[in-house]
Structure 1
């Protein structure tokens, strides 16, 4: 394929696309929110805060009870609640990753470690 002369229009298009890519890269870098790691080693009950909401995780042999007084929270993949409005009963796992979603559709990944 023969090389073509770089026109003003093509140059402007390249600069605009490069600017958009750089802006997208920096926006994603600055707004990235990593996992929240909670260490509950040796505890039956563990409290933690996520975006100002206090959660309490209570461990039993086979289940984990997660409670909060804050409204508008849900756990992805888990719809069943334990009779209470803001309580979830989840099968216990020594290292559990929860995807909490608040009313503003913000998803936060919380890793609970009971090991």
Structure 2
């Protein structure tokens, strides 16, 4: 990754693993463990393969008319998103490939992130 940026393992921890732990979805989400996880993955472009671009709200797939990131310059973007082993996003070929109803609702379990359900203070370095 670029200088001054998170290491890859820390990026995964902050964006996936800790969020899944906080919301009681780990290890089904936030990990890649055979037999336990859903195999949902986001594959990014190799470093330097995507030209910098300015984000516009119409590039996003959401039902709101605002993003705090609109207008910012990005050097990276997901190339593929894989949901339970099937490609549902392919930026280079047709974009959104997922179908309505393809996702599944998951019931939350208890949080397993340290400090999230106790009187312990939050450790910002652990999240």
Q: What TM-score, normalized to structure 1?
A: 0.21
Larger fraction in strand: 1
Give the structure with higher Rg (CA): 1
Q: What TM-score, normalized to structure 2?
A: 0.20
